[in-house]
Amino acid sequence: MADIKQGKIKSRESQLSTTLKDQLRCQSCGLTPLCLPVGMSEAETEKLDSIVHRNTPYHKGDHLFRQGDKFKGIYVITSGSVKSYYINKHGEECIVGFYLPGELIGLDAIHNRVYSCSVAVLETTSACEVPFSQLQSLTSEIPSLQHQLMCLLSKEVHNDCEMVAILASHSAEERLASFLLSLSSRYKSRSLSALEFNLSMSRTEIASFLGHAVETVSRTFSRFQEQGLLEVNRKQVKLLNIEALADLGGNTLTSSTTGFP
């Protein structure tokens, strides 16, 4: 009886594992419109799916890769969030970006084949790893995939320009407002709430990204609450006045970033 029971348990586990793998396939992934070309055939999607590595979930503090590691591939965040940072000559951590589901990491390493930044996990996160050599070979078979890569590279440049726009703002209020609007827009593009979301990054990490002292960022959050622009409950943020935040941010972001229904 014990052997039969054990066999049933293993069979159930195998079925669950198969179901989970099916759910993680590109064709059934809810993030597909963000990272795959529109109009790829089922056969083409299968080819791409065959080279994707889906790792076990990463936990807070884990690294996808570290600064100076040899470039092997790009990553697509499928759930959770991560931060990108480098260590400066003084040994300080300098944060250069935060990544959400559907966003790609590692494109900047294509040039010199070395990751210029480290990427650390902010919360329990899943990611797809795509070996670049295999992806490059596949683009010759799937022209639309090559076009999508170009679009993604262009989007990366756009995001860099957006970050420069945020950091070009002089005051702490302008920078924080622009940062929150950027997150809001990115959550909206994933069919999530644009007005209420969780900040997986700490105040210290936000301060590092915005180039301000953590005390300044905390005071600015408090000031925004007093002005009725937002509500903060620990890491949960609710934006109460998008228009005022956009005005405060100096409209440095694109209309697609600040546009709301």
Please report, in tens digits, the pLDDT of each residue of the chain (261 residues total).
Answer: 545 545 544 444 444 344 344 445 676 676 666 666 666 778 888 888 888 898 889 999 999 999 999 999 999 999 999 999 999 999 999 999 999 998 889 988 988 999 999 999 999 999 999 999 998 888 888 887 887 778 777 877 777 777 777 677 678 999 999 899 989 998 998 888 999 999 999 999 999 999 999 999 999 999 999 999 999 998 999 999 999 999 887 654 443 333 333
Task: Map residue 134 onto helix, strand or coil.
Answer: helix
Closest to 239 in 3D by CA, of 168, 183, 190, 191: 183
DSSP 27: G
Ranges of each domain in the chain: 26-162, 170-258
Q: Can you identify the CATH homologous superfamily of domain 26-162?
A: Jelly Rolls (2.60.120.10)
- On the 0-12 / 13-18 / 19+ scale of CB atoms within 10 A, 228 is exposed
Would you tell me the crossing angle of helices 143-168 and 132-139 to the nearest 10 degrees? 120
Strands 104-105 and 73-79, by their bridges, are antiparallel
- Is 170-258 a domain of CATH 3.40.50.1860? no
